[in-house]
Structure formats: structure tokens, C-alpha cells
């Protein structure tokens, strides 16, 4: 059998000592309180008896039973008084009133005295000779008795309540003291045990766990050294994971490049032949010139044309993302470029798509950029916003100039982006639409990064999503008025 450890021994000794001291004080306190309460209660009843005897003097002398009964009833209104009895000097009962009260009954009696003073009739004077002269003393004569029967049930009940409270508080004190003593005594050995448990968990693979320093200086230093070792391991592991992720991404891009080359040779060229041949068939059948006379055949031909174009766009997206062209930088007016994009989409969506709104300052902001790539990137963002907003929604394009460079904000009134997908929307092939390729936003971020900028997404409080394209660049003097307007907090799309 294993002997108890030092922690258990200290705990048992401490609890026993605390319990013994607490309950000893409890017993002494209850006894002192009991005696005090009994003495005060007896003094109160004796005072009531003396008070009744004093007020009953005249009633006993003249035999006024009605007045004495009234006094007795008043006293009987006290909670603990069970019986009041008033008798004369001969023992004849003048008043005897009682009521039922539970508990043991005690009795206190007081004489009813008749007092005489020297100013009263000289016939009743008695002169006493003393060495100091003749003195007429004030005399007292017992003319009756007052008996009060009272119950100690209330005080006993109060003592039971007090005793139970003493016991409860003592028990709580023992429990609280035991808990405090438990933690104090455990701190002697708990630091080393905790460090051992931490080492075991880390050994099982939980590298994010760290040891607590503890209360003792020695265990604190040991825990600090242990945590430093774990931090070094964590940094190495994160670097390895990052390298693995980057290697996986590069491998995926390489595979995508190979796949794109296969598409270019095996799919794109035959698709071009199919498109040309189908155009010739339409011309020979007369569908191209008069589609209204072709009926269902003309409609089916239109479907084929649309699907060929969609496949061609899909192939172009694959090629653009897998083999991005190297940017050809030249001086470009970004605001003028953005106005052209907004105007083109306004014409494209006129009557068939969402409402297009543009807030582009009528001022030049020039920097080195590849206009063609930026047009494709911004167009992909606007197209994505238009599809999210739907025909009844609104897409707003805003450009802002700050000291850090140029920003484009594209907002829509759609359903927004799921909170867990705000970063995933820029991953290749991520899409929530059946006809999407999931490459548009990935390509747009790729172009933003190539220009030294960034593309981020967020949800708007009022609903919908906001895409922010940021490009760094020096602020031209002509754009200073735009900076001043932004400094006044007039950016409604923030």
C-alpha cells in the first residue's frame, strides 16, 4: 500500500486543526450567547412585573377589578406572557387571565406596595427617635401580589436558530479554510507535476501547449527554458509548413501549366476549327442571314454558338492564370481607365443587368502600370459583383486617392461573402456558381500583386460585399484636390 504523500498529510493535519479550533469557538460562543439572552429575557419579565405592580396599587386598594383586568390584558399582549394574576393582601384573587402558549412556563411575582410619605395625614405618621433626632420615615406596606407566568419558547427557538447559524458558519469557515489550505499546500509540489504533465502532452504532439511558470523561482526558470525550447520547435515547424505549402502551390501551378498547354494544343485548336466549320454550315443553311426563318434550328444554332464561346473563354482563363503575361509597364491614367471600364459595363448591363454607379474623380492619376492587365483585373472584379448583385441590384465603382496610392472600391448589394470564405474567394477554382471557373478573382489578385498592390474583400454592414484594389504610387500634384476631399471624410463607400 502506497503511503500518503506530503500534500495529503499537510491537508489532513490542517483541516483537523482548523475544524477543532472553529467548533470549539462555536460551542463557547453559543453558551455565552445563551446565558446573555436568558439573563436579558428574565430582566425584561421582572421589569414588566414591577411595572404592573406599580400601576396596580390604586386598583388593589379600592378593589377596581375592571381597571386591573385592563392592565392585565395589556400585559397579556406581550408575546411571551402566558398568564397574569393579581391578588390582594389576603390572597383573594382580583384578576386571573391566561392564554395557551407552548413551551415550558416560568413564574415571577412582585408585591404590590402601598407607599406613605411624611406629608400624608398625621394620624398615619410614625416618629422614630434616632441619635440624630426624630425622623418620620416613608413606609411601604404590601397590599397585594402580581404573578406573571411566561414561556421561554421564543428564546429557545431563537437559540436554536442562533446555534444552527453558528454551526453553518463554522462549517463554511472550515470548508473555505480547507480549500485555501489545500491550494496553499498543493503549491509546494504542484509546479513540478504540472511541468511533467505538459511535457507528456507535448510529447504526444500538442506543440502549441506551454508550461506555466509556477510560484517557485526554480520551477519558473525551468518552465521558461522549456517554453523557449517549444517556441523554437514551433517556429521551425511553421517555417516547414510554409515551405511545404509553397512547394505544393508551385507544384499545382506547374501541373496547371502543363494542363493548359495540353488544352491549347488538344482543345483550343480543334475548337477553333469547330467554330469556323459551324459558321460555314450556318451560312449554307441560311440561319446566319435570316435566323427568324430558321425556327428551332436557328435557336439551337445560337445555343451552340454560346457554348463554343463559353468554352473558349474558359480556355482563355486557364491560359491567363497558368501562364500570366509579364506586365508591360507604361505611364497610365488610372482614373481615366476606370471611367472607361464603368462606361463599358453600364452599356453592357443597360436594361439587362444591375444598376451601375460610378464615383471616379474627374482628374488624372498617373503611374507606371500595364493597362491591359489592369483592365482585365478590374473587369473580373466588376463582373463578379454584377453576378452577385443580380439584375435588380446595384454595383458601385469608386476610386480614391490617398498618400499611399490609388484605391478602387467595387461594392455590390448581393448576399455578401460567407465569413469563412473571405480569403478563399481568391483561391484558384473557388466558385459558388455553376457556370463559373473560379479563376477571375484569383487572376485579379495575381495582377494586383504583380503591380505591387493588393486585392482584399470584406462584407458591408448594410449588406453585400466590397472588393478593394490598392496600388501604391506617388501622388501627382494634379491629384491633390482629391486628397483634400478624402481628408474631409467624404468617402461614402468606406
pLDDT tens digit string along 370-429?
998 899 899 999 998 998 888 889 999 999 888 788 999 999 998 888 877 888 888 877
Could you say which architecture CATH assigns to the domain 6-114+143-160? 2-Layer Sandwich (3.30)
Task: Express each pLDDT in 313-324 by its tens digit.
Answer: 777 766 666 666
| Of 11-20, 35-44, 126-135, 268-277, minimum mean pLDDT range | 126-135
Q: Is the pLDDT of residue 294 over 70?
A: no
Q: With 80 as the cut, is the pLDDT of residue 73 above it?
A: yes
Alpha-carbon torsion angle 336, 338, 343, 344, nearest 10: 120
Place of cell 467624404: 490
Q: How far apart are CA 147 and CA 58, in angstroms?
A: 17
pLDDT band at 467 (very low <50, low <70, confident <90, very high): very high
Q: Report how far apart, in Å, the C-alpha atoms of 336 and of each of 34, 224, 339, 362, 454 are.
A: 98, 59, 5, 8, 20
Q: Which CATH number is associated with domain 327-487? A: 3.30.565.10
d(CA 88, CA 60): 6
Residue 119 pLDDT level (bands cut at 50, 70, 90): very low
| Alpha carbon distances (Å) from 276 to 291, 344, 419, 452 | 18, 28, 46, 41
pLDDT digits (tens, 9 = 90+) for 95-108: 888 888 777 888 88
Signed CA dihedral, 315, 317, 320, 323: sign only: negative
Q: What gap in Å lies between CA 25 and CA 19, rounded to an integer?
A: 10
Find out whether 304 and 277 touch, Cβ atoms under 8 Å. no
More confident residue, 150 or 8: 150
Closest CA to 484 of 474, 475, 493: 475
355-359 vs 394-402, strand pairing mode: parallel
pTM value?
A: 0.46
Partners of 70 in the beta sheet? none
Nearest of 259, 276, 382 to residue 314 by alpha carbon: 259
Q: What residue segments make up the domains of the chain, in order of their start?
A: 6-114+143-160, 208-323, 327-487
Quick one: how far is CA 10 from the chain centroid? 39
Q: What is the mean pLDDT of the chain?
A: 79
Orientation of helix 296-322 relative to helix 440-450, angle to 10°: 30
- What whole-number distance in Å separates Cα of residue 370 and Cα of residue 394? 28
Amino acid at each position: 500500500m502506497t503511503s500518503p504523500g506530503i500534500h495529503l498529510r499537510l491537508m489532513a493535519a490542517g483541516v483537523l486543526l482548523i475544524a477543532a479550533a472553529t467548533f470549539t469557538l462555536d460551542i463557547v460562543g453559543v453558551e455565552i450567547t445563551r446565558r446573555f439572552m436568558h439573563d436579558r429575557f428574565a430582566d425584561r419579565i421582572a421589569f414588566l412585573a414591577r411595572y404592573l405592580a406599580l400601576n396596580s396599587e390604586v386598583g388593589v386598594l379600592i378593589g377596581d377589578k375592571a381597571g386591573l383586568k385592563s392592565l392585565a390584558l395589556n400585559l397579556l399582549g406581550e408575546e411571551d406572557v402566558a398568564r397574569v394574576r393579581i391578588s390582594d393582601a389576603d390572597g383573594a384573587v382580583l384578576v386571573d387571565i391566561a392564554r395557551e402558549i407552548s413551551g415550558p412556563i416560568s413564574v415571577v411575582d412582585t408585591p404590590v406596595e402601598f407607599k406613605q410619605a411624611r406629608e400624608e395625614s398625621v394620624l398615619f405618621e410614625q416618629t422614630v427617635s434616632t441619635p440624630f433626632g426624630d425622623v418620620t420615615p416613608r413606609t411601604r406596606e404590601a397590599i397585594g401580589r402580581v404573578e406573571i407566568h411566561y414561556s421561554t419558547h421564543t428564546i429557545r427557538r431563537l437559540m436554536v436558530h442562533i446555534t444552527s447559524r453558528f454551526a453553518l458558519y463554522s462549517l463554511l469557515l472550515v470548508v473555505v479554510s480547507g480549500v485555501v489550505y489545500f491550494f496553499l499546500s498543493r503549491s509546494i509540489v504542484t509546479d513540478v507535476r504540472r511541468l511533467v504533465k505538459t511535457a507528456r502532452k507535448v510529447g504526444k504532439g500538442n506543440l502549441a501547449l506551454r508550461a506555466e511558470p509556477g510560484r517557485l523561482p526554480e520551477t519558473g526558470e525551468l518552465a521558461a527554458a522549456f517554453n523557449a525550447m517549444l517556441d523554437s520547435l514551433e517556429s521551425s515547424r511553421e517555417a516547414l509548413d510554409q515551405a511545404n505549402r509553397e512547394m505544393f502551390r508551385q507544384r499545382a501551378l506547374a501541373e496547371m501549366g502543363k494542363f493548359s498547354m495540353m488544352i491549347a494544343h488538344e482543345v483550343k485548336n480543334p475548337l477553333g476549327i469547330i467554330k469556323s466549320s459551324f459558321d460555314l454550315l450556318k451560312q449554307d443553311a441560311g440561319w446566319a442571314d435570316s435566323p427568324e426563318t430558321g425556327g428551332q434550328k436557328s435557336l439551337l444554332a445560337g445555343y451552340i454558338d454560346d457554348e463554343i464561346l463559353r468554352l473558349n473563354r474558359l480556355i482563355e482563363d486557364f491560359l491567363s492564370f497558368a501562364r500570366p503575361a509579364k506586365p508591360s509597364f507604361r505611364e497610365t491614367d488610372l482614373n481615366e481607365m476606370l471611367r472607361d471600364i464603368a462606361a463599358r459595363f453600364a452599356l453592357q448591363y443597360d436594361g439587362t443587368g444591375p444598376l451601375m454607379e460610378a464615383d471616379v474623380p474627374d482628374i488624372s492619376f498617373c503611374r507606371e502600370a500595364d493597362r491591359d492587365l489592369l483592365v482585365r483585373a478590374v473587369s473580373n472584379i466588376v463582373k463578379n459583383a454584377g453576378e452577385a448583385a443580380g439584375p435588380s441590384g446595384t454595383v458601385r465603382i469608386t476610386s480614391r486617392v490617398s498618400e499611399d496610392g490609388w484605391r478602387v472600391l467595387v461594392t455590390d448589394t448581393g448576399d455578401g461573402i460567407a465569413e469563412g470564405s473571405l480569403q478563399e474567394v481568391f483561391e484558384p477554382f473557388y466558385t459558388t456558381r455553376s457556370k463559373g471557373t473560379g479563376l477571375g478573382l484569383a487572376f485579379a489578385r495575381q495582377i494586383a500583386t504583380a503591380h505591387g498592390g493588393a486585392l482584399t474583400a470584406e462584407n458591408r454592414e448594410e449588406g453585400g460585399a466590397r472588393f478593394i484594389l490598392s496600388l501604391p504610387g506617388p501622388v501627382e500634384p494634379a491629384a491633390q484636390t482629391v486628397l483634400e476631399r478624402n481628408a474631409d471624410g467624404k468617402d461614402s463607400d468606406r
